Structure 1
Amino acid sequence: MKKLQFRILTVFIVLFTLFSISIGVFSTNLLQDYAQKSQEEALIKQAKTIADLLYVNGENSIDLESAISQLTKLEILDEERLTVIDLSGVVVYDSAANKAALENHSDREEFQAVLNGEKTGISIRESESTNENLYYVAVPLMGSQDELIGVLRLSRPVADINQINEQIKQSLLIFSLLAFILTTLVTFIITKRIAKPINDIMDVAKNLSDKRYDVRYTGTAYGEVADLGDTVNELATNLEEQTQEIVQNDKRLYELVNHLVIGVMLIDDHRTIKMVNPAMSTILGEDITHLIGNSYVEATKSYGLSHMIEMAYQKNEKQNDEIYFYYPQDKIVDANIVPIDGKEPGEQNLIVLLYDITEIRRLEKVRTDFVTNASHELKTPITALKGFSETLLDGAMEDKEVLKQFLEIMLAESSRLDFLVNDILELSKLEQKQVPMNIQEINLTETVLSTIQLVKQTADNKQMKLNVIEEDNLLITGDSSRLKQILANLINNAVVYTQEKGKVTVTIKKENDYAVIRVSDNGIGIPEDEQDRIFERFYRVDKARSRNSGGTGLGLSIVKYLIENLNGSISVESKLGLGTTFIVKLPIHPNE
C-alpha cells in the first residue's frame, strides 16, 4: 500500500511542480511586463509633471534659463537623474553630472524622438558619464508660443526596476514553495486516508488468494472504497461457504470411497496410479497404497485385468468382464473399466472398479447344489410312496401281510419326507432370522445332562460311554429349547459316527465372556479336505451311514444358523480315524 501512496504522492508532486513552473513563468513574465510598464508610465508621468510645473511657474512664458533656475529649486529623488538639453543637443542642466563634462546629446535616441515631434522619447542604454544602465524618458519643453525650446530628460537606473522584478520573483518563489509544502502535506494526509483502507482491502485480497477465507475487511472507508470493502467481504464469505461445502463434499466422498466394498483405482493418462481405496487392496491381496504414483501393472499382476485396462485406453470405451485371480488366492472379480476426462483437454483417465463376486458364485453353487440335493433327497421317499402305492393298487392290498409291510414302509418314508420338509423350512427361517427366541437364564450343565438322556439309549445299545466334564459352573442367557436342539444334534452325530464301545465327552468351561462347549468323540473322523463343507446343506461325510440313521443332511446347517442366531460361533477339529471335536462358543450375556 505504501507503494500506492508513494505513487499518488509522486504523481501529484510532478503535476504540481509542472503546474507551478508554468504558472510561475507566466506570472513572472506578466508581472515583469506590468512592473516595467508601470515604472515607464510613472517615469513619463513624472517627466511631464516636471515640464508642466516649469511651464506654470514661468507664467506661461519660459526659456531655458528660467527653466534651469526653477529646476535648481526642485527636490529630485536620489535614484532619478534630471537633464535639460537644448535644441542643438548641448546639455544645459544635469542633476547628476557636471554639464561642462558632458558631450553633445544630439544623437541620443530619446532626444531625436522628441525633435521628431513625438510627445515622449524612451531609451535604455548604459550612461557614458555614470557607467550605469539607465532608463531614459524625454519630454519637450515648450515656449510661450508653444514652440519647442528644449528637451527635458528624466532617467532612472534599470537596476532599480530589475530589483522590483527580482522581488516579484522571490515573492512568487516563496509563495510557490509554501504552497507546495502545504499542498504536499495535505495530499499526503489525504492519500494516506485513501490508501490505508485500500491497503487493508489488498491484504484481505492477498489472504483470500492464499486460501485464508476467514479474513474480513473491518476498516473505515468512504464512498467507492467502502463499497469495495463490502464487496470483498461478500466475496470472502461466499468463498468460505463454498470452501466449506467443497471440504464437506470431499470428506463425504472420501468416506464413501473408503467404505465401499467395491475396489476403486484411479489411473491417469500416463498409466500411473493416482488413488486407491482399502477395498482395492483387499481384493488384490496386498496393500497397494504405497504404489500411488507407480504404474498400475505393479499393483494388478493380472494379465486379464491389464488387458482390459489397455483396451479401455485404446478404444476409450467402458470395459466389463469377470476376471479370475489366482494370486495370492483364487478369486472371481467383476471388473469395470470406465474412461473419464482428465484435467487437461485430451487427457484420458480411467477408473478401475473391482467387485469380489467369489462368495456370490460360491453361494450360487451352494444354491444349485441345494436344489439338486433337495430334489434328490425328496425323490427317494416320493418314489417309494409312489411305487408302493401303485403296487398296492395293482392288487397287493389283498395280501394283509404285504399290505401291512408296505404301509409301514410308506409311513416311514412319509415321516422322513415330513422331517426333510420341516428341516428345509426351519433352515430357511433361520437364514432369514425369523425364528423367535425365548430368552431366559440357562444352567448349562443341567441342559447338557438332560440332552444326553435323549441319546442315552442309543449309546447304551452301542455300549458307548457318555461323559460330562464341568470345568466351570455356568449360567448363560439364551433360548433353552434351541440350545438343546444344538446339543442334541451334535451329541447324536457323535454317537452315530462313533463305533461300538466308543466314547463321547462333553466339556463345559469359560473363556473370557464366552461359554465354551466341546463335544468330542473317538469315531471315524472327518477328512481334512471336507471339514470346510460339513455345514453345507445335504453334505454327508459318510452318506450311507447318514441315510441309514434317518438323517436329512441338514442337521449341521441348522446347528450353524441356530448358533449364529444366538450370537455364537461353531468350529470343528478332526483327524480321520481318530475322532472329531465340535467347539461351540456362546456369549454368557449376549446383550452386553
Structure 2
Amino acid sequence: MKKSLFSKPLISYIIGIFLIIFATGAVISQLTSEYIILFSVLIIEFIVLIIMLLHVFEKYVKPIKAATKTVDKLVKGNYRARIHHPEIGSVGELSRKINILARNLSELSFQEEMQEKQLVTVIDNTQSGLVLIDEKGYVHLVNRKFISMFGKNPRDYVGYLYYDVLENERIHQTVQQTFLYEKTVKTSITQTKELEKKYIEIVGAPIFNEKKMLKGAVLVFYDITELKKLEIMRKDFVANVSHELKTPITSIKGFAETLLDGAAKEQETREKFLAIIFEESKRLNLLIDDLLTLSKLEKDEFRLHVTEVNAAELLRDIIPMFKQRAENKQIQLSVNVEQGLSMKVDADRFKQVIINLLANAISYTPEHGEITVTMDETDQSIHVSVADTGIGIPQDALPRIFERFYRVDKTRSRNTGGTGLGLAIVKHIMEVHGGKITVDSELNKGTTFHVYFPKA
C-alpha cells in the first residue's frame, strides 16, 4: 500500500507554521499599532522639546552670546559696541548694564583721547625741548622743540638708549646725576649751528611713582641764547662806555694839567691844547647825546611824532649837509629819488637814519669813491638805499654791526670821530617805526644799507 505524498506529520507541521504565522501576524499587528502610538508620542515630545530649546536659546543663550561678543569688542577697544536684544528679567538687566558700561567706557575713551591730544599739543608747542627717559635709560618721548634744537627725527630717538642717540657728554652726565642723586640737576651746553653759537640750559628732573620709587627722568632744554647775548651785551656795554668816556676825559685832564703847569703862557701851545680839549669835549658830548638817544628809544613810553611827509623833500633837505664833506674827499655823491613819495613817519627820526648812514658811507669810503642814495616805492613801504664803494665789512662781522660800540676796525673807526652807536640808533629807529634795515657788503668793494619805512 502506497504512502500519501503528504504525511500527517508534515501536514501537522505546515498547519503549525500557518497557525504560528497567523498568531504572530496578529501579535505584530497589535504591536505595530502600539509602536505607532508610541512613536507619535515621541515625535510630539521631540517637537515640544525643540520648541522649548529654541525658546531657551532665543531668550537666554542668544542674548548671552551677544553679550559675550559685545564684551569681547569692548575688551579690544571698540567702545561703540552695543547689545540690540531687548530682553526682560536678569538677561535684560545684564544687557542694559553692559550697554551702560560701553557708553561710560566710550565717554572715558573720548575724554582720554581729548586730554591726550591736548597734552601732545602742549608738549609739542612748548618753547622748551623735552625728553622723557624711563628707569632703564630708554627714550620714550621727544617734542618738536627738541627736534628743532638737535635735528633728526623723533623715530631716531624714541625706543633707543639715551647714550646711543644723545651725543653730548654733558647730557649723559645730567641723566646719570639725576638718577644717582634722585634730585633736580642743572647744567648748560653750547652748540654751533650754521656758524651761530647756541647756549642751552639743561634741567634733569627725576620721576617717581606713588610709592616714591624712581621710574625715570625728564630732561628740559631751554634755549638761553638771547639771554646770554643780552648778558654779554650788558657787560660789553659797561666796558665800552667806560672805555669811550675814559679816552676823551683822560685827554681833557692831561692837556688841562699841562696848561696849568705853565704851558698856558705860550700862546701857540695854549691854542693847540685848547683846540684839542674842545674837540675831545665835542666827542664826549656826541657820545652822551647818542647814549641819551638810545635810552630814549628803548623806553616803553617812547612815542613817535608821526606826520604825513613828502619823503623826497625830506631827503633833499639832508643831502646838502654832506655835499661839502663828499667834495672834500673827492667822493661822487649821487641821488636818485622817485618823485611824489609820501609816508607817515617821524620826520626827525627819518632824517637821523639817513644822516647816520650817509655819515658812515663818507667816513669809510676812500678818496675818489662813489656814494649813491636811492629812494623808491614798494607795495607796503618806502625803500631808501645808501650804497658806497668803501672798505666794506667782513661777512663774519655783519651780524654784529648793529651792536652798541661794535667796531670792525676799532682804530680806524675811532679816527673817523664816530661814537660806535650810530647803527644801533638806526636799528632802534627802524624797529619803533615797524620797519626794517638790511645790509649787503663785500670786503674792499663796498657796502649797501637798505631801510624800509612802512607807508602807514
* TM-score bracket for this pair, using the shorter chain length: 0.7 to 0.9
Distance in 2 (alpha carbons) for counterparts of 1:472 and 1:295? 67
Please point out which of 481, 484, 489 is paired with 2:348: 481
How do 1:374-393 residues align onto structure 2 when only pairs under 5 Å count? 374-380=241-247
Partner of 1:300: 166
The letter for the 2-side match of 1:224 is S
Partner of 1:505: 372
RMSD of Structure 2 on Structure 1 (CA): 4.6
What SS is found at the alignment partner of 2:319?
helix
Distance in 1 (alpha carbons) for counterparts of 2:235 and 2:174? 30
Distance in 2 (alpha carbons) for counterparts of 1:569 and 1:203? 68
Partner of 1:494: 361
What SS is found at the alignment partner of 1:368?
helix
The question of whether the paired residues in 1 share the 8 Å contact of 2:206 and 2:214 is answered with no
Cα offset, 1:556, TM superposition: 0.5
1:428-484, CA deviations, whole angstroms, 9 ceiling, x for partnerless residues? 454455432345555443333222233334334444332113479755554443322
How do 1:416-435 residues align onto structure 2 when only pairs under 5 Å count? 419-431=286-298, 434-435=301-302
Distance in 2 (alpha carbons) for counterparts of 1:423 and 1:238? 70
What SS is found at the alignment partner of 1:564?
helix
1:373-424, CA deviations, whole angstroms, 9 ceiling, x for partnerless residues? 1233344566678889999999999999999999998887676555544433
The question of whether the paired residues in 2 share the 8 Å contact of 1:433 and 1:565 is answered with no
How do 1:139-218 residues align onto structure 2 when only pairs under 5 Å count? 178=44, 181-182=47-48, 184-217=50-83
How do 1:310-325 residues align onto structure 2 when only pairs under 5 Å count? 310-313=176-179, 317-325=183-191
Distance in 1 (alpha carbons) for counterparts of 2:387 and 2:350? 17
Aligned identity (percent) is 36
Partner of 1:241: 107
TM-score by length of 2: 0.74
Cα offset, 1:185, TM superposition: 1.7
The question of whether the paired residues in 2 share the 8 Å contact of 1:571 and 1:582 is answered with yes
Please point out which of 550, 563, 577 is paired with 2:430: 563
Aligned CA distance change for structure 1 residues 384 and 244 (closer, same or farther; 3 Å) = farther
Distance in 2 (alpha carbons) for counterparts of 1:418 and 1:493? 19
The question of whether the paired residues in 2 share the 8 Å contact of 1:340 and 1:348 is answered with yes
Partner of 2:321: 454
Cα offset, 1:586, TM superposition: 4.3
The question of whether the paired residues in 2 share the 8 Å contact of 1:526 and 1:574 is answered with yes
1:523-569, CA deviations, whole angstroms, 9 ceiling, x for partnerless residues? 33334443332211122345456556553321111111222333333
The question of whether the paired residues in 1 share the 8 Å contact of 2:131 and 2:219 is answered with yes
Aligned CA distance change for structure 1 residues 571 and 416 (closer, same or farther; 3 Å) = same
Cα offset, 1:194, TM superposition: 3.9
The question of whether the paired residues in 1 share the 8 Å contact of 2:376 and 2:383 is answered with yes
Aligned CA distance change for structure 1 residues 496 and 284 (closer, same or farther; 3 Å) = same
Partner of 2:20: none
Please point out which of 518, 542, 545 is paired with 2:385: 518
Distance in 1 (alpha carbons) for counterparts of 2:260 and 2:391? 44
Partner of 1:353: 220
Pairing 1:280–2:117 present: no
The question of whether the paired residues in 1 share the 8 Å contact of 2:182 and 2:214 is answered with no
Distance in 1 (alpha carbons) for counterparts of 2:267 and 2:97? 108
Larger Rg: 1
The letter for the 1-side match of 2:98 is V
Q: Which runs of 5+ in 1 are unaligned?
A: 1-163
Pairing 1:259–2:125 present: yes
What SS is found at the alignment partner of 1:539?
coil
What SS is found at the alignment partner of 1:352?
strand
Distance in 2 (alpha carbons) for counterparts of 1:180 and 1:575? 107
The letter for the 1-side match of 2:111 is E
The letter for the 2-side match of 1:534 is I
Aligned CA distance change for structure 1 residues 227 and 396 (closer, same or farther; 3 Å) = farther
Q: Which runs of 5+ in 2 are unaligned?
A: 1-29
The question of whether the paired residues in 1 share the 8 Å contact of 2:436 and 2:452 is answered with yes
The letter for the 1-side match of 2:150 is L
Aligned CA distance change for structure 1 residues 587 and 211 (closer, same or farther; 3 Å) = farther
Distance in 1 (alpha carbons) for counterparts of 2:130 and 2:226? 19
